[in-house]
Structure 1
Amino acid sequence: MKPNEFINQFLHQLNNIITPGAEALGSEMQQKLRAAAQAAFDRLDLVTRDEFDAQQAVLKRSREKLEKLEQQLAELKVQVDNQHS
């Protein structure tokens, strides 16, 4: 989810929580809420969904390579043990 989409969803949920009369406060209040939310999220150490998905794919490939290397090592150990027997 992109940051602006996240903020829009956050503000929508906030509007649903606040009493119905709060929507009557007008666009100025919503602009101030949006600016405050944006400032709060800018201070957080967040990554985009795309960045998260990319790192997750890298981690998956690394795990697969590690498992393959572990299997090769186990096979080599068996070969060495068989040669010494």
Structure 2
Amino acid sequence: MLHKVLIEAVSNQATRLLMSEKSLPAPEVEKHLKALLQSALAKMDVVSRDEFETQQVVLQRTRERLEVLERRVTEMEQRQQPAAI
């Protein structure tokens, strides 16, 4: 719900910026819009694509290590069990 309110606030601010009577030059409008969007994204607690992909790699390695450890534990448990007759 916070995201919806935040997006609406950003939209309203962008509309005011674009419709202002000051008629800012295009590079100035772009600079203000970029700052506005960066601020909104920071409040939404999102991560960059690079951060996401880095965490994906870390998670994949962790899963692989966990699978190896699970196999080792299973093998050790099987060795500890007495042979069934």
TM-score range, shorter chain: 0.5 to 0.7
Note the residue ranges of structure 1 that are not aligned, 5 or more in a row.
Answer: 1-21
Note the residue ranges of structure 2 that are not aligned, 5 or more in a row.
Answer: 1-18
1:27-63: CA deviations, max 9, x gaps? 2655544343232112221211111111111111110
Q: RMSD of aligned C-alpha atoms?
A: 2.5
Supply the distance in 1 between the matched residues of 2:32 and 2:45 (Cα, whole angstroms): 22
1:55 partner letter:
Q
Query: What's the counterpart of residue 82 of structure 2?
Result: 82
1:41 aligns with 2:37: no
TM-score (structure 1 length as normaliser):
0.55
1:46 partner letter:
V
Alpha-carbon distance, 1:76 to partner:
0.7
Supply the distance in 2 between the matched residues of 1:51 and 1:29 (Cα, whole angstroms): 29
Moved over 3 A (4+): 28-35, 82-85
Aligned residues: 62
Q: Percent identity?
A: 37
2:77 partner letter:
K
Cα distance change on mapping 1:56 and 1:40 into 2, 3 Å: same
- The structure carrying a bigger helix percent of its residues is 1
